[in-house]
Amino acid sequence: MSLPEFPRFTRLLLALALAGLVAGCFQPLYGDQNVVGGTGVRDKMSAVDVVPVVTAQPGRLPRVGGEVRNELIYQLTGGGAPNTTGYKLFINISSTNLQVIADASTNRSDVQNYGIDASFRLVEVGTGKQVVTGSTFSRVSYDTPGQEQRFAGVRGLRDAENRAAKVIAENIRSRLASYFTAGT
């Protein structure tokens, strides 16, 4: 071994030794392992009761609210039975549907942008204390193929609603996970 390669080899060994020492310090956010006597994030998240979603507008939005609620329940419990209820989650949503691109010759929209705005609050059941509040949004676009294919336009809107509902549920779940992990 030559003299210039020795410091590089020493640095590599030092880095590997340091990595080995701190390897046990990290825990996955949604992992099952927990501190002795404590509950894990997954257990706390499955103790959240998602109250039916309140919608600001009649029409299609109550179905979207149901999609948000169902997706959130699945993401919090993993499809299993929920634990005892320790928290209640209240969600309010409203939606927008904007024309993004229009055909110049017919003045009909080609692409639309569907959006959901949601506000949520997590309340402890035992104390009635509000522990987390927040808001989130989702914007997704979809094609409207024109007057000849009305069903395709309606189906595109429904798919956009479902995609936006899933994004809202993921955002809320991530915020709850950070609360249950860090306590803030």
Q: Per the structure block, which two tokens stand in for 26? A: 């990290």
Residue 79 Ramachandran class (φ > 0 left, ψ -120 to 50 alpha, else beta): left
* Cα–Cα distance for residue pair 135/163, rounded to 1 Å: 18
Q: Per the structure block, which two tokens stand in for 148? A: 């000849």
* Cα–Cα distance for residue pair 5/28, rounded to 1 Å: 37
pLDDT value, residue 27: 58
* Cα–Cα distance for residue pair 120/8, rounded to 1 Å: 53
108 contacts 102 by C-beta, under 8 angstroms? yes
Task: Let me know if 40 is exposed, middle or buried by CB neighbors in 10 A (0-12, 13-18, 19+).
Answer: middle
13 contacts 23 by C-beta, under 8 angstroms? no
Residue 128 to residues 28, 44, 121, 150, 153, Cα–Cα distance (Å): 30, 17, 12, 48, 44
- Show pLDDT as tens, one digit a residue, over the chain (184 residues): 554 555 778 888 888 887 877 776 655 555 555 555 556 788 888 889 999 999 978 888 999 999 999 999 999 988 777 777 889 999 999 999 887 777 777 767 778 899 999 999 999 998 999 999 999 999 999 888 766 677 888 898 999 999 999 999 999 999 999 998 887 7
88 contacts 125 by C-beta, under 8 angstroms? yes
pTM confidence score? 0.77
E strand intervals along the chain: 48-50, 54-55, 87-102, 109-124, 130-143
* Cα–Cα distance for residue pair 72/128, rounded to 1 Å: 22
pLDDT value, residue 25: 65
The contacts of residue 158 (CB under 8 Å, 6+ apart) are none
pLDDT value, residue 8: 76
Q: Which CATH code fits 39-182?
A: 3.30.160.150
